[in-house]
Amino acid sequence: MHPRKHSQDFLRTGHVLAIGLILLLVGACASTTVDQVWTTPNRAQPPMQKVVTVMISPNTTMRHAAEDRLAIDLANKGVQATPGYQVFPDGAKDVQDLDTMKAHLKELGYDGVVTMRIVDREQVLESAPATFDGYWGYWGPGYWGGYAGGYVYTEIVYRVESAAYSLHTGQLVWTAMTKTVDPDSAHQLVHDTTKIIASELTKRGLAG
């Protein structure tokens, strides 16, 4: 094969491999992080030990799955947690009014309620820089070297607002905004978010 033809084929292959690697790395970067968090300065109340988890969503399937998952993650941290749908039937008006819901739960012997809801979904435009793939000789790039051009891609970003209310005082004691980038599914979005909620509440001594 002619050297020039071989070099062109190699460059094309290197270009494809470089872009493939970048795409693989981009696809593997799904993550959930805490964007904002607030905790009550009043730490006089005891930590919540018996809570109800509530997912605020018109989607019944997502609501049940999220409430189950959050209850499990809290239970793994030593908190007695009950999914909201086991206390309030689907479509119950008590869930639609926070004060009514808190009063009802306190009567049932619960000392806290933890809520979550998806507040935003946006498509974000990102860019990947050009990369060089080749052999660097004494004077610089070798004969087989070449550049893989940069490109633009999109990420789907979800933001979930979570809150915890102490039924000892009836007050908000903690709230956070989490950001999840490119979740593989609704299950991953929920699972990653509930793990953070459970960890934050117990780490800060608000539950457990």
Q: Tell me, what's the pLDDT at 86?
A: 95
Q: Tell me, what's the pLDDT at 29?
A: 52
Two tokens at 64? Answer: 């049940």
Q: Quick one: which of 203, 199, 124, 114 has its CA closest to 161?
A: 114
CA–CA separation, 134 and 137 (whole Å): 10
Per DSSP, the three-state class of 190 is: helix
Q: Tell me, what's the pLDDT at 23?
A: 39
Q: Tell me, what's the pLDDT at 18?
A: 39
Residue with tokens 């071989």: 6
Asked if 178 and 35 count as a contact pair (C-beta separation under 8 A), the reply is: yes
Q: Tell me, what's the pLDDT at 123?
A: 83
State the number of CA atoms in the 13 A half-sphere of 133 facing the CB: 21
Q: Tell me, what's the pLDDT at 44?
A: 74
CA–CA separation, 110 and 190 (whole Å): 24
Per DSSP, the three-state class of 35 is: strand
Residue with tokens 């979570």: 162
Q: Tell me, what's the pLDDT at 45?
A: 78
Question: How many other CB atoms are found less than 10 A from the CB of residue 107?
Answer: 9
State the 10-residue block means of pLDDT for the chain, 208 residues long: 44 39 44 92 86 93 95 97 92 75 92 95 69 46 50 82 93 95 91 96 94
Q: Tell me, what's the pLDDT at 10?
A: 34
Q: Tell me, what's the pLDDT at 13?
A: 39
